[in-house]
Structure 1
């Protein structure tokens, strides 16, 4: 292609040139060219010095002779208008369509040839300007333009749209969030609906989406960068997204963001998506129904329990000892861990029992209905049979598969009443009385082996009133120590026996392992805060492992949880392992396969378990906050920690540290105080003691062994 005479090869005096400033082409007149240095007079009447290498690759036209500044400006204006008009008539996307696939890199003049015949310098410059304006399709690599392929263009267009959207969201969101935050911080809430109405609808939707995502993960790679821009100017607060979402009305007051973090859907609505699979499972169970075992099994639970997964029958043996029979719900009878329902249940990992709501691991139609050991309902079960001697040591143990129809679902209250009164006129009274004898013997044997038992009942919380004016109340917790001990000891017996049985047969199970050495003197049942605190310091948390190992505080050489298969994933998996072995002689998962599954199971149990651990603490803190001005809280000194003293708030089972001087400088473990609370913040999980006064009556420190270790 012949170069048009108006196009110059190099810049010299009298040439019109262009250069980039602020990503925009600027028109100028070359007044003097000395080597690589150009002295320019620009369209905006400024003199400038510039390296020739910065000149855009369309130089010209060149005008001979001398010209005054007015003449120069007139020439510049003329060519500027012409180039703007020409550029406005060019469709750079059409140029890209023509060039894409033909060339990857070419000169501005070549591209100008696609729109103009023998283009002059103004038309080349117009084409260059048009291509510079679409950085998504062309890349300027002086002196040429690179043509981006279609996949790169698509990506860059998406990035450009995201950047525009981000700018729109940031501009709108910063002011909006600042208004919401200042209203919350000052206690004078703003009209969020009125403020939100001023937002661009797309920006508002993005802000909503972001806040809800941040409730689950404030470090989200997708949202964290945008959030950091939006929160500029706001003070630091660990629950800022939660507060803003509540102020906006996106979530209700006291929203449980821990569920979002755990990825756990509360309630039972989630199970609706699996209704067809639930019905198919119901049909399979109906087809495989067997004759119920004739034993008259009894279950004992709280009156609100709907997912009943254990029942027992205990009878004395002639000559001493007992025959113990137990039925455990067997949801694995027709279970498929790989099905959509099986995977959803595995992801839920455990049931949650919170003051505001109970959420079951299994669909309620199964866990509270079809598979629960409800009285009079034929249910698949794992049947466990023991013969125990007079010290409750097992003479024999045998697990087997079957069906049961539990005779009665008893409550802790009724069982406690029978045990306290010694009443045996009720038809179930003698059975629970014998079961309690067995439990006493089992506990005594465990303590003899070194078990550490902490009797620390959690307070019962009740939530009263609408969410916007909710009050937390502490209810008097009815204690049923004999009934609860009876059930817990039988469950420990079952889990320890299954672990020992599986170990003998090399059946891999999930075990709770707490392999620590407990010093002499710590075995026993401890009830006082001081005793329990001392004992806890000698222990470590049990870990979930795919190998048998000692559980020190339970005093079991191996402990494989299996008694709560309706409520906990580890028990469900262990039930499947035992069932498959009894059916076929081999477990469902080999040791290697179970070891591979373990990290996922442990991670889900831990993630959902965080909700169970921390959500009740939130309600306790809210109770403290609501009552801090009106009342004092009873506290017991449990430990001296240098310049700090650890206190247990006995009513709430909460611990806090205060300076020694607040307690008079020399408080002793067991000493009781009434404390006044200052700052209490449920959202940041903290509270502080403002003052303390000693109780007049000296405390009973409990039957603890001497501090120096001497007996």
Structure 2
């Protein structure tokens, strides 16, 4: 406590304790009443600019001619309480200038809001947390703290879903979430309990800043319409007379590749690959290009497809539909009987595909079935023979090929009622190999062409040493675990380094220019050299594109990896809930050491680790078990093996 510089009135000493107490109480009551009537801000407005500091008595005299001790004390109390406008420097009050007052008012308001947020928000977050953990029913959103506290809480929660490492308002978040579990997914769980986001919310997409759906396309409708008008105009390149066919999934609408193949007179095959050519009409640096570059790639998820380009282009003007004239890059090359390929010849032309075929139909036609693909069976057989020769050649170059059945994840229902189905996709191994090898062939040809001419490109590289015995096609879990041990993921580079997994000295992707931005850039670079003899982008400029794009592709890669895993683990969780203790899974040991065992669940293609003691000391790679799972968490993409029984 401190002695305030106003005193009085004075009373004689001949007073009893009771009388003194009554006198003090009377003055206290009167001073409180008078202080409540003092307009401290009004006093500041009268004094600000005139005085730098003044006493309580001076301020009291502004209110009345002859203030008594109670009036002076009351005025002093009011000024002490008005900390945004005055600072008490005994015996005077410093009078803040207008700018200081504004700053202090803002600080006071922020402090008041923080206090209100902590006071009103902490209890609400505790309620949400209890609901998320199943300890109580989900609360009614109407019971949330009123705005602005509620709005601030919503903003904080959503911001931390998007960026869990954010330091913005970190101290305030720690205060309001004090006592809640230290869980990296806590903001998402709170948001779901509040109803801010739906069940099965894709936080990875949120963190990537990728706008799903088609709403974003409307912002570029004019530019898309102008591009679409150019396709089919007099600006189109010369027509190619070759008969091209494409092979895709039945539902595919963004068709970006097709081919024509003939047997070469001297042996081997003469191949022409036709690739969609959006680069011919693309405005690099424009608003549409900026949006597409940010997206970086198309996303193919169980819940739907989000295209890199607007649908009017990716599934319209640039898609290689049968019977429609489309601009295309043509890659012509010869493949020898041993699978080696000559140098590619590149040109730009207009193509009109003979047919859009699907994998299953082509697979059946290879077996002699009469269907839509049957008229092209001869060409399909040539392409299959070529693709097998190319595969064998790449293996001889050291390629490491992982051949696992493709899974199909489908969703039924919506929201919390979503049911996940997982099963093997229809298999068409020869047709799929055919398309895969054609695309690898085209991309390898571009890399070879660019290296020979010192043209800057974006390359996919995997510059690692691979043991010779690792080369081959691998299908079982133990072999796959052995050969990929120590493998680094392929990366985007501007230097033509080897791609060990594919078995090529250089690999420059451009076969999917309407699905991947790196492919679009490489296609544009090729076109510019063909037209002008010089590259569009220099090596430093290409490195700038690479560095920006690599960050986006890393973010999108997380979405593409984690989202299907989420649905797989939800499927496992739903199956366990449906069948209880009878829910068992086939598992094959992929790796083992003295303490741990890694197993592959082939039904869902998930790798799990568990203590070796669960499987026994004699457990070894390739051994099969039936396992029972516990504590399955789709959000954390984890599950624990509770029991294992050898088959």
- Residue in 2 aligned with 1:650? 602
Q: Judging changes above 3 Å, is the alpha-carbon distance between structure 1 residues 150 and 371 closer, same or farther for their aligned structure 2 residues?
A: farther
Q: Which of 231, 255, 265 in structure 2 is aligned with 1:308?
A: 255
Does 2:119 correspond to 1:171?
yes
Distance in 1, Cα, partners of 2:12 & 2:396: 114
Distance in 2, Cα, partners of 1:438 & 1:568: 26
Q: Write the deviation string for residues 416-471 of structure 1: whole angstroms up to 9, x where unpaired.
A: 11223398993322222212222122111111111111102342112123432222
Alignment of 1:493-512 (within 5 A): 493-512=441-460
The answer to whether the 8 Å contact 1:461/1:474 transfers is yes
Does 2:228 correspond to 1:278?
no
- Residue in 2 aligned with 1:264? 210
Q: Write the deviation string for residues 609-655 of structure 1: whole angstroms up to 9, x where unpaired.
A: 11110111111111111223232111111222221111111111111
Name which of structure 1's ranges 400-409 and 295-304 shifts more when overlaid on structure 2.
400-409
- Residue in 2 aligned with 1:706? none
The answer to whether the 8 Å contact 1:350/1:605 transfers is yes
The answer to whether the 8 Å contact 1:323/1:386 transfers is yes
- Residue in 1 aligned with 2:353? 406
- Residue in 1 aligned with 2:323? 376
Q: Judging changes above 3 Å, is the alpha-carbon distance between structure 1 residues 89 and 530 closer, same or farther for their aligned structure 2 residues?
A: same
Q: Write the deviation string for residues 140-186 of structure 1: whole angstroms up to 9, x where unpaired.
A: 45555444454544444333333333333333333333333334434
Q: Which of 467, 475, 489 in structure 2 is aligned with 1:527?
A: 475
Does 2:489 correspond to 1:541?
yes
- Residue in 1 aligned with 2:279? 332
Q: Write the deviation string for residues 186-227 of structure 1: whole angstroms up to 9, x where unpaired.
A: 46524x22x633642443333333333332223333454443
Distance in 2, Cα, partners of 1:368 & 1:141: 74
Q: Judging changes above 3 Å, is the alpha-carbon distance between structure 1 residues 448 and 150 closer, same or farther for their aligned structure 2 residues?
A: farther
Distance in 2, Cα, partners of 1:329 & 1:101: 73
Offset at 1:360? 0.9
The answer to whether the 8 Å contact 2:513/2:520 transfers is yes
- Residue in 1 aligned with 2:197? 251
What RMSD over aligned residues (CA atoms) do the two structures have, in Å?
Answer: 2.8
Does 2:170 correspond to 1:218?
no
Offset at 1:414? 1.5
Alignment of 1:197-596 (within 5 A): 197=143, 199-285=145-231, 287=233, 288-421=235-368, 426-596=374-544
The answer to whether the 8 Å contact 1:636/1:648 transfers is yes
Does the residue aligned with 1:691 lie in a helix, a strand or coil? strand
The answer to whether the 8 Å contact 2:343/2:449 transfers is no
Name which of structure 1's ranges 300-309 and 129-138 shifts more when overlaid on structure 2.
129-138
Superposition TM-score, scaled by structure 2 size: 0.91
Distance in 2, Cα, partners of 1:212 & 1:94: 42
Does 2:612 correspond to 1:660?
yes
Offset at 1:342? 1.7
Does the residue aligned with 2:156 lie in a helix, a strand or coil? helix
Distance in 2, Cα, partners of 1:574 & 1:186: 52
Does the residue aligned with 1:282 lie in a helix, a strand or coil? helix
Offset at 1:374? 1.6
Alignment of 1:593-608 (within 5 A): 593-608=541-556
Does the residue aligned with 2:374 lie in a helix, a strand or coil? coil
Q: Judging changes above 3 Å, is the alpha-carbon distance between structure 1 residues 417 and 170 closer, same or farther for their aligned structure 2 residues?
A: same
Distance in 2, Cα, partners of 1:309 & 1:106: 81
Does the residue aligned with 1:521 lie in a helix, a strand or coil? helix
Offset at 1:479? 0.9
**Higher RCO by CA contacts (8 Å cutoff, separation 6 or greater):** 2
Greater C-alpha radius of gyration: 1
Offset at 1:548? 1.6
Offset at 1:667? 1.1
Offset at 1:85? 4.7
- Residue in 2 aligned with 1:615? 563
The answer to whether the 8 Å contact 1:516/1:539 transfers is yes
Does the residue aligned with 1:565 lie in a helix, a strand or coil? coil
Q: Write the deviation string for residues 120-139 of structure 1: whole angstroms up to 9, x where unpaired.
A: 76655444433332333334
Does 2:133 correspond to 1:185?
yes
Q: Judging changes above 3 Å, is the alpha-carbon distance between structure 1 residues 156 and 323 closer, same or farther for their aligned structure 2 residues?
A: farther
Q: Judging changes above 3 Å, is the alpha-carbon distance between structure 1 residues 212 and 65 closer, same or farther for their aligned structure 2 residues?
A: same
Does the residue aligned with 1:579 lie in a helix, a strand or coil? helix
Distance in 2, Cα, partners of 1:198 & 1:397: 65
The answer to whether the 8 Å contact 1:180/1:189 transfers is no
Offset at 1:291? 3.9
Distance in 2, Cα, partners of 1:297 & 1:67: 118
Q: Judging changes above 3 Å, is the alpha-carbon distance between structure 1 residues 63 and 344 closer, same or farther for their aligned structure 2 residues?
A: same
Q: Judging changes above 3 Å, is the alpha-carbon distance between structure 1 residues 163 and 332 closer, same or farther for their aligned structure 2 residues?
A: farther
Distance in 2, Cα, partners of 1:587 & 1:127: 80
Distance in 2, Cα, partners of 1:447 & 1:253: 45
Distance in 1, Cα, partners of 2:359 & 2:170: 49
Q: Judging changes above 3 Å, is the alpha-carbon distance between structure 1 residues 78 and 411 closer, same or farther for their aligned structure 2 residues?
A: same
Offset at 1:681? 1.3
The answer to whether the 8 Å contact 1:289/1:403 transfers is yes
- Name structure 2 gaps, 5 residues minimum: none
The answer to whether the 8 Å contact 1:172/1:200 transfers is no
Distance in 2, Cα, partners of 1:146 & 1:465: 68
- Residue in 2 aligned with 1:677? 629
Alignment of 1:14-163 (within 5 A): 54-56=2-4, 58-61=5-8, 63=10, 66=13, 68=15, 69=17, 73=21, 76-77=24-25, 80-81=28-29, 83-101=31-49, 125-163=73-111
Does the residue aligned with 1:381 lie in a helix, a strand or coil? strand
Distance in 1, Cα, partners of 2:604 & 2:475: 15
Distance in 2, Cα, partners of 1:102 & 1:487: 86
Distance in 1, Cα, partners of 2:259 & 2:268: 16
Offset at 1:518? 0.6
Does the residue aligned with 2:588 lie in a helix, a strand or coil? strand
